[in-house]
Structure 1
Amino acid sequence: MQRDEAGQDGTVGKALGVLDRVAGFGRPVRFAELLEGSDLPKATLYRLLQTLLRQDMLTLDPETGRYAPGIRLVRLAHAAWSQSSLAPIARPHLDRLAHEVGQTVHLAQLDGAQVLYVDKRGPAAAVRMYSEAGKVGPAYCTGVGKAMLAFLPEPELEAALARQAWHRFTPATITDPAAMRDELAAIRAAGHAFDREEHEPGITCLAMPILAPSGRVLGAVSITGAGLGVEALMQHRGAQARAVADISGDLRDWRFPDQGES
Protein backbone atom coordinates (compact mmCIF):
# COMPACT_ATOMS: atom_id res chain seq x y z
CA MET A 1 0.00 0.00 0.00
CA GLN A 2 1.27 3.44 -0.90
CA ARG A 3 2.18 5.72 1.97
CA ASP A 4 1.62 9.47 1.79
CA GLU A 5 4.12 12.11 2.83
CA ALA A 6 2.86 12.08 6.41
CA GLY A 7 3.71 8.39 6.68
CA GLN A 8 0.07 7.32 6.86
CA ASP A 9 -1.30 4.38 4.86
CA GLY A 10 -2.98 6.30 2.08
CA THR A 11 -6.68 7.12 2.25
CA VAL A 12 -7.38 4.63 5.04
CA GLY A 13 -4.66 6.15 7.20
CA LYS A 14 -5.98 9.65 6.56
CA ALA A 15 -9.53 8.61 7.43
CA LEU A 16 -8.36 7.00 10.66
CA GLY A 17 -6.44 10.16 11.44
CA VAL A 18 -9.65 12.17 11.04
CA LEU A 19 -11.46 9.80 13.41
CA ASP A 20 -8.65 10.25 15.93
CA ARG A 21 -8.99 14.04 15.68
CA VAL A 22 -12.76 13.96 16.17
CA ALA A 23 -12.47 11.63 19.15
CA GLY A 24 -9.58 13.61 20.59
CA PHE A 25 -11.72 16.68 21.20
CA GLY A 26 -13.87 14.74 23.66
CA ARG A 27 -16.96 16.61 22.46
CA PRO A 28 -18.81 17.31 19.20
CA VAL A 29 -16.57 19.41 16.98
CA ARG A 30 -17.02 21.82 14.07
CA PHE A 31 -15.36 21.50 10.67
CA ALA A 32 -13.30 24.65 11.25
CA GLU A 33 -11.86 23.17 14.45
CA LEU A 34 -10.87 19.99 12.62
CA LEU A 35 -9.31 21.97 9.80
CA GLU A 36 -7.24 24.12 12.15
CA GLY A 37 -3.90 22.43 12.69
CA SER A 38 -4.68 19.64 10.20
CA ASP A 39 -2.16 18.82 7.48
CA LEU A 40 -5.01 17.87 5.13
CA PRO A 41 -6.31 20.27 2.48
CA LYS A 42 -9.80 21.60 3.14
CA ALA A 43 -11.34 19.64 0.25
CA THR A 44 -9.66 16.39 1.33
CA LEU A 45 -10.81 16.77 4.92
CA TYR A 46 -14.38 17.46 3.80
CA ARG A 47 -14.34 14.43 1.45
CA LEU A 48 -13.08 12.14 4.21
CA LEU A 49 -15.71 13.43 6.63
CA GLN A 50 -18.44 12.72 4.09
CA THR A 51 -17.17 9.18 3.60
CA LEU A 52 -17.07 8.57 7.34
CA LEU A 53 -20.61 9.93 7.67
CA ARG A 54 -21.88 7.59 4.96
CA GLN A 55 -20.25 4.67 6.75
CA ASP A 56 -21.85 5.65 10.09
CA MET A 57 -18.40 6.11 11.62
CA LEU A 58 -19.34 9.74 12.35
CA THR A 59 -22.56 11.64 12.90
CA LEU A 60 -23.30 15.27 12.02
CA ASP A 61 -25.78 17.40 13.94
CA PRO A 62 -27.49 19.49 11.23
CA GLU A 63 -28.44 22.20 13.69
CA THR A 64 -25.02 22.77 15.24
CA GLY A 65 -22.85 21.56 12.36
CA ARG A 66 -20.78 19.47 14.77
CA TYR A 67 -19.30 16.03 14.15
CA ALA A 68 -19.20 13.22 16.72
CA PRO A 69 -18.33 9.50 16.74
CA GLY A 70 -21.03 7.43 15.05
CA ILE A 71 -22.90 4.36 16.22
CA ARG A 72 -20.87 2.01 14.00
CA LEU A 73 -17.69 3.24 15.64
CA VAL A 74 -19.30 2.66 19.05
CA ARG A 75 -20.13 -0.94 18.05
CA LEU A 76 -16.57 -1.53 16.87
CA ALA A 77 -15.17 -0.03 20.05
CA HIS A 78 -17.38 -2.28 22.15
CA ALA A 79 -16.27 -5.35 20.16
CA ALA A 80 -12.61 -4.36 20.58
CA TRP A 81 -13.10 -3.82 24.32
CA SER A 82 -14.74 -7.23 24.65
CA GLN A 83 -12.31 -9.20 22.48
CA SER A 84 -8.95 -7.40 22.63
CA SER A 85 -8.98 -5.74 26.03
CA LEU A 86 -8.03 -7.20 29.37
CA ALA A 87 -10.96 -5.41 30.96
CA PRO A 88 -13.66 -8.13 30.82
CA ILE A 89 -11.30 -10.75 32.27
CA ALA A 90 -9.85 -8.43 34.91
CA ARG A 91 -13.13 -6.87 36.04
CA PRO A 92 -13.95 -9.12 39.03
CA HIS A 93 -10.39 -8.92 40.30
CA LEU A 94 -10.35 -5.12 40.01
CA ASP A 95 -13.68 -4.93 41.85
CA ARG A 96 -12.32 -7.04 44.69
CA LEU A 97 -9.04 -5.11 44.88
CA ALA A 98 -10.74 -1.70 44.91
CA HIS A 99 -13.09 -2.84 47.67
CA GLU A 100 -10.22 -4.27 49.69
CA VAL A 101 -7.85 -1.30 49.50
CA GLY A 102 -10.36 1.57 49.37
CA GLN A 103 -8.34 3.43 46.73
CA THR A 104 -8.65 4.04 43.00
CA VAL A 105 -7.55 1.07 40.88
CA HIS A 106 -6.54 1.30 37.22
CA LEU A 107 -6.07 -1.28 34.49
CA ALA A 108 -3.93 -0.24 31.54
CA GLN A 109 -2.35 -1.57 28.38
CA LEU A 110 0.35 -0.18 26.12
CA ASP A 111 -0.93 1.59 23.03
CA GLY A 112 2.21 1.95 20.96
CA ALA A 113 4.48 3.99 23.21
CA GLN A 114 1.62 5.36 25.31
CA VAL A 115 -0.66 4.08 28.05
CA LEU A 116 -4.28 3.27 27.35
CA TYR A 117 -6.45 3.14 30.47
CA VAL A 118 -8.97 0.37 29.80
CA ASP A 119 -10.74 0.22 33.15
CA LYS A 120 -10.95 2.11 36.43
CA ARG A 121 -12.47 1.44 39.83
CA GLY A 122 -12.76 4.23 42.39
CA PRO A 123 -13.56 4.60 46.08
CA ALA A 124 -16.81 6.10 47.29
CA ALA A 125 -15.21 9.54 47.66
CA ALA A 126 -13.42 9.57 44.31
CA VAL A 127 -10.71 12.14 43.67
CA ARG A 128 -10.73 13.74 40.23
CA MET A 129 -7.62 12.81 38.26
CA TYR A 130 -6.46 12.66 34.67
CA SER A 131 -6.82 8.91 34.17
CA GLU A 132 -10.21 7.66 32.95
CA ALA A 133 -11.10 4.51 31.05
CA GLY A 134 -10.50 5.16 27.36
CA LYS A 135 -7.95 7.90 27.91
CA VAL A 136 -4.40 7.72 26.61
CA GLY A 137 -1.54 9.00 28.75
CA PRO A 138 2.24 9.14 28.75
CA ALA A 139 4.18 6.00 29.67
CA TYR A 140 7.35 7.56 31.10
CA CYS A 141 5.70 9.38 34.01
CA THR A 142 2.85 7.10 35.07
CA GLY A 143 3.08 4.09 37.35
CA VAL A 144 1.37 1.72 34.92
CA GLY A 145 3.47 3.03 32.06
CA LYS A 146 6.77 2.50 33.82
CA ALA A 147 5.68 -0.93 35.09
CA MET A 148 5.07 -2.03 31.50
CA LEU A 149 8.13 -0.33 29.98
CA ALA A 150 10.39 -2.03 32.51
CA PHE A 151 9.51 -5.51 31.24
CA LEU A 152 9.64 -4.87 27.49
CA PRO A 153 12.31 -6.66 25.44
CA GLU A 154 15.20 -4.31 24.69
CA PRO A 155 14.30 -3.56 21.03
CA GLU A 156 10.72 -2.67 22.01
CA LEU A 157 11.91 -0.64 24.99
CA GLU A 158 14.36 1.33 22.87
CA ALA A 159 11.63 2.12 20.34
CA ALA A 160 9.16 3.11 23.08
CA LEU A 161 11.63 5.40 24.84
CA ALA A 162 12.46 7.09 21.54
CA ARG A 163 8.79 8.02 21.17
CA GLN A 164 8.32 9.58 24.64
CA ALA A 165 7.73 13.33 24.81
CA TRP A 166 9.80 13.82 27.98
CA HIS A 167 7.66 16.79 28.93
CA ARG A 168 8.09 17.91 32.54
CA PHE A 169 4.59 17.72 34.07
CA THR A 170 5.76 18.27 37.66
CA PRO A 171 9.09 18.87 39.39
CA ALA A 172 9.27 15.08 39.99
CA THR A 173 8.91 14.09 36.32
CA ILE A 174 11.88 12.14 34.94
CA THR A 175 12.78 13.77 31.64
CA ASP A 176 16.14 12.15 30.89
CA PRO A 177 16.17 8.80 29.00
CA ALA A 178 19.31 7.60 30.82
CA ALA A 179 17.74 8.33 34.21
CA MET A 180 14.60 6.53 33.06
CA ARG A 181 16.62 3.43 32.18
CA ASP A 182 18.02 3.45 35.73
CA GLU A 183 14.46 3.75 37.06
CA LEU A 184 13.27 0.87 34.89
CA ALA A 185 16.13 -1.35 36.06
CA ALA A 186 15.07 -0.72 39.67
CA ILE A 187 11.46 -1.52 38.74
CA ARG A 188 12.46 -4.84 37.17
CA ALA A 189 14.36 -5.76 40.32
CA ALA A 190 11.51 -4.78 42.66
CA GLY A 191 8.63 -6.08 40.55
CA HIS A 192 6.62 -2.88 40.99
CA ALA A 193 6.72 0.77 39.94
CA PHE A 194 5.87 4.06 41.60
CA ASP A 195 4.47 7.29 40.28
CA ARG A 196 5.81 9.80 42.78
CA GLU A 197 3.65 12.74 41.68
CA GLU A 198 5.41 12.57 38.31
CA HIS A 199 2.31 13.14 36.17
CA GLU A 200 -0.05 15.03 38.48
CA PRO A 201 0.74 16.94 41.67
CA GLY A 202 -0.56 15.15 44.75
CA ILE A 203 -1.23 11.86 42.92
CA THR A 204 0.88 8.78 43.70
CA CYS A 205 0.64 5.24 42.34
CA LEU A 206 1.88 1.75 43.03
CA ALA A 207 1.80 -0.29 39.80
CA MET A 208 2.55 -3.88 38.82
CA PRO A 209 2.80 -5.43 35.37
CA ILE A 210 0.57 -8.23 34.13
CA LEU A 211 2.85 -10.72 32.40
CA ALA A 212 2.22 -13.77 30.27
CA PRO A 213 4.06 -16.97 31.32
CA SER A 214 6.60 -16.14 28.61
CA GLY A 215 7.27 -12.80 30.30
CA ARG A 216 5.54 -10.75 27.62
CA VAL A 217 3.83 -7.60 28.93
CA LEU A 218 0.05 -7.77 28.70
CA GLY A 219 -0.90 -4.82 30.87
CA ALA A 220 -0.58 -3.32 34.33
CA VAL A 221 -2.63 -2.64 37.45
CA SER A 222 -2.14 0.37 39.71
CA ILE A 223 -3.43 1.54 43.05
CA THR A 224 -3.64 5.31 43.03
CA GLY A 225 -3.94 7.64 45.98
CA ALA A 226 -4.31 11.37 46.48
CA GLY A 227 -2.14 12.92 49.14
CA LEU A 228 -0.65 9.53 50.07
CA GLY A 229 3.04 8.68 50.25
CA VAL A 230 4.32 5.61 48.46
CA GLU A 231 4.89 3.97 51.85
CA ALA A 232 1.14 4.05 52.49
CA LEU A 233 0.45 2.48 49.10
CA MET A 234 2.97 -0.26 49.79
CA GLN A 235 0.69 -1.53 52.55
CA HIS A 236 -1.55 -2.80 49.74
CA ARG A 237 1.21 -4.55 47.81
CA GLY A 238 0.12 -8.03 48.87
CA ALA A 239 -3.49 -7.54 47.81
CA GLN A 240 -2.37 -6.01 44.53
CA ALA A 241 0.05 -8.88 43.82
CA ARG A 242 -2.77 -11.38 44.40
CA ALA A 243 -5.07 -9.52 42.01
CA VAL A 244 -2.37 -9.38 39.33
CA ALA A 245 -1.66 -13.10 39.77
CA ASP A 246 -5.38 -13.91 39.50
CA ILE A 247 -5.69 -11.86 36.30
CA SER A 248 -2.62 -13.58 34.84
CA GLY A 249 -4.09 -16.96 35.78
CA ASP A 250 -7.36 -16.20 34.01
CA LEU A 251 -5.41 -15.14 30.92
CA ARG A 252 -3.57 -18.45 30.51
CA ASP A 253 -6.22 -19.84 28.19
CA TRP A 254 -6.64 -16.59 26.29
CA ARG A 255 -4.30 -15.77 23.43
CA PHE A 256 -3.62 -12.05 23.61
CA PRO A 257 -4.23 -10.41 20.18
CA ASP A 258 -1.06 -10.10 18.08
CA GLN A 259 1.08 -11.54 20.82
CA GLY A 260 1.25 -15.19 19.73
CA GLU A 261 1.39 -17.99 22.21
CA SER A 262 1.78 -16.97 25.84
Structure 2
Amino acid sequence: MLDPTSITDAGSPSDTGSSQDQQTAVDKALTLLMSLAEEDREVGVSELARRTQLTKSTAFRLLGILQRNDVVERVGSSYRLGPQLFDIGRRVYGPTPLMLQDRLLPFLTELYVLTQETVHLAVLHRTDVMYVNKLHGHRRARTSTRIGSRMPASCTAVGKALLAFDHDAAELAIAQGLPAPTEHSVTDPADFRAELARVRRDGIAYDREEILPGVTCVAVPVIGAAGRPVAAISVSGALHRFEPARVAPELRRVAFEAARELGATARSRGRRHPAGSAAA
Protein backbone atom coordinates (compact mmCIF):
# COMPACT_ATOMS: atom_id res chain seq x y z
CA MET A 1 0.00 0.00 0.00
CA LEU A 2 0.98 3.62 -0.48
CA ASP A 3 3.18 4.86 2.37
CA PRO A 4 3.14 8.69 2.38
CA THR A 5 6.27 8.75 4.53
CA SER A 6 8.26 7.18 1.72
CA ILE A 7 8.25 10.29 -0.46
CA THR A 8 9.39 13.81 0.20
CA ASP A 9 8.90 17.12 -1.51
CA ALA A 10 11.43 16.11 -4.12
CA GLY A 11 9.67 12.80 -4.67
CA SER A 12 12.62 10.71 -3.45
CA PRO A 13 12.60 8.01 -0.73
CA SER A 14 13.09 9.28 2.82
CA ASP A 15 12.49 8.04 6.34
CA THR A 16 12.76 11.46 7.95
CA GLY A 17 10.67 13.73 5.73
CA SER A 18 8.75 16.44 7.58
CA SER A 19 4.93 16.47 7.68
CA GLN A 20 5.01 19.45 5.32
CA ASP A 21 7.10 17.47 2.85
CA GLN A 22 4.78 14.51 3.09
CA GLN A 23 1.71 16.66 2.49
CA THR A 24 3.38 18.32 -0.47
CA ALA A 25 4.09 14.92 -2.00
CA VAL A 26 0.47 13.88 -1.54
CA ASP A 27 -0.67 17.15 -3.11
CA LYS A 28 1.53 16.48 -6.12
CA ALA A 29 0.23 12.94 -6.48
CA LEU A 30 -3.35 14.21 -6.40
CA THR A 31 -2.46 16.84 -9.00
CA LEU A 32 -1.24 14.07 -11.29
CA LEU A 33 -4.47 12.13 -10.79
CA MET A 34 -6.60 15.20 -11.53
CA SER A 35 -4.62 15.84 -14.68
CA LEU A 36 -5.17 12.24 -15.83
CA ALA A 37 -8.89 12.58 -15.07
CA GLU A 38 -9.16 15.41 -17.60
CA GLU A 39 -8.35 13.04 -20.47
CA ASP A 40 -10.03 10.03 -22.09
CA ARG A 41 -6.63 8.83 -23.30
CA GLU A 42 -3.26 7.82 -21.97
CA VAL A 43 -0.87 10.68 -21.15
CA GLY A 44 2.93 10.59 -21.17
CA VAL A 45 5.19 11.58 -18.30
CA SER A 46 6.57 14.65 -20.04
CA GLU A 47 3.11 16.04 -20.74
CA LEU A 48 1.93 15.30 -17.19
CA ALA A 49 5.00 17.00 -15.76
CA ARG A 50 4.38 20.06 -17.92
CA ARG A 51 0.71 20.28 -16.93
CA THR A 52 1.35 19.87 -13.22
CA GLN A 53 4.54 21.96 -13.17
CA LEU A 54 6.51 19.08 -11.68
CA THR A 55 9.93 17.95 -12.72
CA LYS A 56 9.84 14.91 -14.95
CA SER A 57 11.74 12.84 -12.36
CA THR A 58 9.27 13.76 -9.60
CA ALA A 59 6.28 12.94 -11.80
CA PHE A 60 7.86 9.62 -12.78
CA ARG A 61 8.53 8.61 -9.15
CA LEU A 62 5.04 9.54 -7.98
CA LEU A 63 3.43 7.74 -10.91
CA GLY A 64 5.43 4.67 -10.01
CA ILE A 65 4.02 4.70 -6.47
CA LEU A 66 0.49 5.23 -7.77
CA GLN A 67 0.99 2.41 -10.27
CA ARG A 68 2.10 -0.02 -7.54
CA ASN A 69 -1.17 0.70 -5.75
CA ASP A 70 -3.30 0.24 -8.92
CA VAL A 71 -4.40 3.87 -8.81
CA VAL A 72 -2.86 4.44 -12.25
CA GLU A 73 -1.97 2.04 -15.05
CA ARG A 74 1.02 2.23 -17.35
CA VAL A 75 0.37 1.70 -21.04
CA GLY A 76 3.68 1.66 -22.87
CA SER A 77 5.36 4.89 -21.82
CA SER A 78 2.06 6.61 -20.92
CA TYR A 79 -0.39 6.47 -18.02
CA ARG A 80 -4.12 6.37 -17.35
CA LEU A 81 -6.31 6.08 -14.25
CA GLY A 82 -6.29 2.62 -12.71
CA PRO A 83 -8.99 0.21 -11.50
CA GLN A 84 -8.41 0.84 -7.80
CA LEU A 85 -9.36 4.48 -8.23
CA PHE A 86 -12.58 3.45 -9.99
CA ASP A 87 -13.42 1.05 -7.15
CA ILE A 88 -12.83 3.79 -4.57
CA GLY A 89 -14.94 6.24 -6.57
CA ARG A 90 -17.90 3.88 -6.63
CA ARG A 91 -18.04 4.10 -2.84
CA VAL A 92 -18.00 7.89 -2.57
CA TYR A 93 -21.79 8.30 -2.41
CA GLY A 94 -22.58 5.06 -0.56
CA PRO A 95 -24.62 2.06 -1.70
CA THR A 96 -27.84 3.80 -2.73
CA PRO A 97 -26.71 5.15 -6.16
CA LEU A 98 -25.21 1.76 -7.02
CA MET A 99 -28.45 0.02 -6.07
CA LEU A 100 -30.46 2.47 -8.16
CA GLN A 101 -28.11 2.03 -11.09
CA ASP A 102 -28.64 -1.73 -10.99
CA ARG A 103 -32.37 -1.84 -10.24
CA LEU A 104 -33.47 0.86 -12.65
CA LEU A 105 -31.30 -0.02 -15.65
CA PRO A 106 -34.11 -2.04 -17.33
CA PHE A 107 -36.41 0.99 -17.13
CA LEU A 108 -33.78 3.32 -18.60
CA THR A 109 -33.21 0.81 -21.40
CA GLU A 110 -36.95 0.67 -22.14
CA LEU A 111 -37.13 4.45 -22.25
CA TYR A 112 -34.14 4.65 -24.57
CA VAL A 113 -35.66 2.08 -26.95
CA LEU A 114 -38.90 4.06 -27.03
CA THR A 115 -37.33 7.48 -27.60
CA GLN A 116 -33.90 6.82 -29.18
CA GLU A 117 -32.69 9.84 -27.21
CA THR A 118 -30.23 10.26 -24.34
CA VAL A 119 -31.59 8.95 -21.02
CA HIS A 120 -30.25 9.91 -17.59
CA LEU A 121 -30.73 8.66 -14.04
CA ALA A 122 -29.66 11.13 -11.33
CA VAL A 123 -29.79 11.64 -7.57
CA LEU A 124 -29.60 14.81 -5.50
CA HIS A 125 -26.34 15.57 -3.70
CA ARG A 126 -26.74 18.77 -1.66
CA THR A 127 -27.50 21.37 -4.35
CA ASP A 128 -26.07 19.34 -7.24
CA VAL A 129 -27.31 16.34 -9.14
CA MET A 130 -25.05 13.34 -9.60
CA TYR A 131 -25.59 11.25 -12.71
CA VAL A 132 -25.91 7.59 -11.72
CA ASN A 133 -26.48 6.21 -15.22
CA LYS A 134 -26.63 7.38 -18.81
CA LEU A 135 -27.71 5.68 -22.03
CA HIS A 136 -27.25 7.16 -25.48
CA GLY A 137 -27.00 6.02 -29.06
CA HIS A 138 -26.11 7.38 -32.45
CA ARG A 139 -28.57 10.28 -32.06
CA ARG A 140 -27.05 11.38 -28.77
CA ALA A 141 -27.56 14.95 -27.68
CA ARG A 142 -24.45 17.08 -27.20
CA THR A 143 -24.20 16.83 -23.43
CA SER A 144 -21.38 17.29 -20.96
CA THR A 145 -22.71 14.67 -18.55
CA ARG A 146 -21.09 11.36 -17.67
CA ILE A 147 -21.74 8.73 -15.04
CA GLY A 148 -20.48 10.07 -11.72
CA SER A 149 -20.37 13.71 -12.83
CA ARG A 150 -22.24 16.49 -11.06
CA MET A 151 -24.16 19.53 -12.30
CA PRO A 152 -25.97 22.39 -10.54
CA ALA A 153 -29.43 20.99 -9.80
CA SER A 154 -31.18 24.29 -10.52
CA CYS A 155 -30.16 24.23 -14.19
CA THR A 156 -31.23 20.67 -15.00
CA ALA A 157 -34.57 18.94 -15.43
CA VAL A 158 -33.55 16.08 -13.12
CA GLY A 159 -32.38 18.60 -10.55
CA LYS A 160 -35.61 20.58 -10.60
CA ALA A 161 -37.62 17.34 -10.39
CA LEU A 162 -35.79 16.60 -7.12
CA LEU A 163 -35.44 20.11 -5.66
CA ALA A 164 -39.19 20.62 -6.01
CA PHE A 165 -39.72 18.04 -3.26
CA ASP A 166 -36.78 19.04 -1.05
CA HIS A 167 -37.48 22.49 0.37
CA ASP A 168 -34.23 22.81 2.34
CA ALA A 169 -32.05 21.89 -0.65
CA ALA A 170 -33.98 24.26 -2.91
CA GLU A 171 -33.60 27.17 -0.49
CA LEU A 172 -29.89 26.41 -0.06
CA ALA A 173 -29.45 26.46 -3.85
CA ILE A 174 -31.17 29.86 -3.99
CA ALA A 175 -29.09 31.19 -1.08
CA GLN A 176 -25.86 30.13 -2.79
CA GLY A 177 -26.88 31.98 -5.94
CA LEU A 178 -28.52 30.33 -8.94
CA PRO A 179 -25.85 29.77 -11.61
CA ALA A 180 -26.35 30.75 -15.23
CA PRO A 181 -24.49 28.40 -17.59
CA THR A 182 -26.58 29.83 -20.46
CA GLU A 183 -28.72 32.88 -21.11
CA HIS A 184 -31.80 30.67 -20.64
CA SER A 185 -30.96 29.63 -17.07
CA VAL A 186 -33.44 30.71 -14.38
CA THR A 187 -31.56 32.94 -11.94
CA ASP A 188 -34.33 34.98 -10.30
CA PRO A 189 -35.32 33.38 -6.95
CA ALA A 190 -39.02 34.22 -7.36
CA ASP A 191 -39.13 32.74 -10.86
CA PHE A 192 -37.27 29.65 -9.68
CA ARG A 193 -39.62 29.06 -6.74
CA ALA A 194 -42.58 29.45 -9.11
CA GLU A 195 -41.08 26.87 -11.45
CA LEU A 196 -40.55 24.40 -8.61
CA ALA A 197 -44.18 24.92 -7.59
CA ARG A 198 -45.22 23.97 -11.13
CA VAL A 199 -43.05 20.85 -10.91
CA ARG A 200 -44.74 19.83 -7.65
CA ARG A 201 -48.14 20.43 -9.19
CA ASP A 202 -47.52 18.66 -12.51
CA GLY A 203 -44.93 16.08 -11.45
CA ILE A 204 -42.70 16.88 -14.39
CA ALA A 205 -39.74 19.23 -14.95
CA TYR A 206 -38.12 20.77 -18.02
CA ASP A 207 -34.71 22.11 -18.95
CA ARG A 208 -35.01 24.48 -21.89
CA GLU A 209 -31.39 25.09 -22.93
CA GLU A 210 -30.58 25.98 -19.32
CA ILE A 211 -27.45 23.87 -18.92
CA LEU A 212 -26.28 23.72 -22.54
CA PRO A 213 -27.36 25.69 -25.63
CA GLY A 214 -29.26 23.63 -28.18
CA VAL A 215 -30.24 20.87 -25.72
CA THR A 216 -33.63 20.44 -24.07
CA CYS A 217 -34.72 17.90 -21.48
CA VAL A 218 -37.73 16.54 -19.59
CA ALA A 219 -37.58 14.69 -16.25
CA VAL A 220 -39.81 13.11 -13.63
CA PRO A 221 -39.03 12.00 -10.06
CA VAL A 222 -38.90 8.35 -9.03
CA ILE A 223 -40.78 8.01 -5.76
CA GLY A 224 -39.24 5.76 -3.11
CA ALA A 225 -40.91 3.57 -0.49
CA ALA A 226 -41.11 6.51 1.95
CA GLY A 227 -43.16 8.54 -0.53
CA ARG A 228 -40.34 10.95 -1.41
CA PRO A 229 -38.25 11.11 -4.61
CA VAL A 230 -35.07 9.06 -4.46
CA ALA A 231 -33.95 9.77 -8.03
CA ALA A 232 -35.07 11.35 -11.28
CA ILE A 233 -35.16 10.02 -14.83
CA SER A 234 -34.83 12.28 -17.86
CA VAL A 235 -34.80 12.23 -21.63
CA SER A 236 -32.62 14.78 -23.44
CA GLY A 237 -32.38 15.71 -27.09
CA ALA A 238 -31.28 18.33 -29.56
CA LEU A 239 -33.63 21.31 -29.63
CA HIS A 240 -34.12 21.21 -33.41
CA ARG A 241 -35.59 17.67 -33.37
CA PHE A 242 -36.66 16.77 -29.84
CA GLU A 243 -40.06 17.72 -28.41
CA PRO A 244 -40.00 16.93 -24.67
CA ALA A 245 -43.79 17.06 -24.25
CA ARG A 246 -44.22 14.19 -26.71
CA VAL A 247 -42.22 11.74 -24.59
CA ALA A 248 -43.65 12.97 -21.27
CA PRO A 249 -46.43 10.32 -21.07
CA GLU A 250 -44.00 7.43 -21.60
CA LEU A 251 -41.53 9.00 -19.18
CA ARG A 252 -44.22 9.23 -16.51
CA ARG A 253 -45.21 5.60 -17.05
CA VAL A 254 -41.66 4.29 -16.90
CA ALA A 255 -40.90 6.31 -13.76
CA PHE A 256 -44.06 4.96 -12.11
CA GLU A 257 -43.07 1.39 -12.94
CA ALA A 258 -39.54 2.07 -11.66
CA ALA A 259 -40.98 3.36 -8.39
CA ARG A 260 -43.16 0.26 -8.11
CA GLU A 261 -40.06 -1.92 -8.57
CA LEU A 262 -38.24 -0.08 -5.79
CA GLY A 263 -41.27 -0.46 -3.55
CA ALA A 264 -41.45 -4.20 -4.22
CA THR A 265 -37.74 -4.51 -3.45
CA ALA A 266 -38.17 -2.67 -0.16
CA ARG A 267 -41.13 -4.86 0.85
CA SER A 268 -39.19 -8.00 -0.04
CA ARG A 269 -36.30 -6.92 2.14
CA GLY A 270 -38.72 -6.13 4.95
CA ARG A 271 -40.11 -9.66 4.80
CA ARG A 272 -36.62 -11.20 4.85
CA HIS A 273 -35.46 -8.98 7.73
CA PRO A 274 -38.48 -8.01 9.88
CA ALA A 275 -38.02 -5.35 12.54
CA GLY A 276 -36.02 -6.63 15.46
CA SER A 277 -34.47 -9.54 13.59
CA ALA A 278 -30.81 -9.86 12.76
CA ALA A 279 -29.93 -9.45 9.08
CA ALA A 280 -27.92 -12.25 7.57
TM-score, normalized by length of structure 2?
0.67
Structure-2 separation of matches of 1:111 and 1:48? 32
Note the alpha carbon deviations across 1:135-161, whole angstroms, 9 max, x for none: 32222211111111111142x333344
Residue of structure 2 equivalent to 1:33:
51
Question: Residues 194-205 of structure 1 correspond to what in structure 2 (within 5 A)?
Answer: 194-205=206-217
Confirm or deny that 1:157 pairs with 2:175: no
Matched, 1:237 2:248: yes
1:164, 1:215 → 2: CA distance? 29
Q: Which amino acid aligns with 2:129?
A: V
Aligned-pair distance for 1:31?
A: 3.7
Q: Which residue in 1 is equivalent to 2:70?
A: 56
Match of 2:148, as an amino acid?
G
Note if contact 2:141-2:236 (Cα within 8 Å) is conserved in structure 1: no
Show the counterpart of 2:148: 134
Quote the Cα distance in structure 2 between the aligned partners of 1:27 and 1:111. Answer: 29
- Name the SS for the 2:187 alignment partner: coil
- C-alpha distance in 1 between matches for 2:94 and 2:183: 38
SS at match of 1:236: helix
2:200, 2:35 → 1: CA distance? Answer: 36
* Shift in CA distance, 45/177, structure 1 to aligned 2, threshold 3 Å: farther
What secondary structure sits across from 2:143 in the alignment?
Answer: coil
Matches of 2:199 and 2:216, distance apart in 1: 16
**Of residues 131, 135, 138 in structure 2, which corresponds to 1:121?**
135
Distance in 1 separating the partners of 2:105 and 2:161: 20
Residue 244 of structure 2 is aligned to residue 222 of structure 1: no
Matched, 1:71 2:79: no
Pick from 184, 197, 201 the counterpart of residue 172 of structure 1: 184
Number of aligned residues: 235
Sequence identity (%): 33
Matched, 1:189 2:207: no
1:211 counterpart (220, 223, 228): 223
* Deviation by residue 1:218-250 (Cα, 9 ceiling, x = unmatched): 2111111212588x3222222111111121122
Structure showing greater Rg? 2
Of stretches 214-223 and 191-200 in structure 1, the one that deviates more from structure 2 is 214-223
Q: Which amino acid aligns with 2:132?
A: V
Gaps of 5+ in 2: 1-22, 268-280
After TM superposition, the structure 1 stretch with the greater mean CA deviation from structure 2, 189-198 or 44-53, is 44-53
Shift of 1:198: 1.1
Q: Give the match for residue 257 of structure 2.
A: 246
Change (3 A) 1:50 1:95: same
Paired residue secondary structure (1:105): strand
For residues 120 and 222 of structure 1, what CA distance do their matches in structure 2 show? 10
Q: Work out whether residues 142 and 238 of structure 2, in 8 Å CA contact, stay in contact via their aligned partners in 1.
A: no
TM-aligned CA distance change 1:22 to 1:165, over 3 Å = farther
Task: Return 5+ residue gaps in structure 1 as ranges.
Answer: 1-9, 37-43, 256-262
Tell me the CA shift for residue 203 of structure 1.
1.1
SS in 2 for 1:151: coil
Between 1 and 2, higher relative CO (CA 8 Å, sep ≥ 6) is seen in 1
Identify which of 81, 98, 104 aligns with 2:118.
104
Q: Decide which of 119, 122, 145 is 2:159's aligned counterpart.
A: 145
Q: What is the identity, as a one-letter code, of the residue corresponding to 1:121? A: L
Equivalent position amino acid for 1:225 in 2: G
Cα gap change, 1:164 to 1:246, in 2 (>3 Å): farther
TM-score, length of structure 1 as denominator length: 0.71
**More off after superposition, 171-180 vs 17-26:** 17-26
Cα distance in 2 for residues equivalent to 1:215 and 1:158? 21
Residues 52-102 of structure 1 deviation map (CA, whole Å, 9 limit, x = unaligned): 4442223356734xx532121234456779953222111111111122233
- RMSD, matched Cα: 3.8
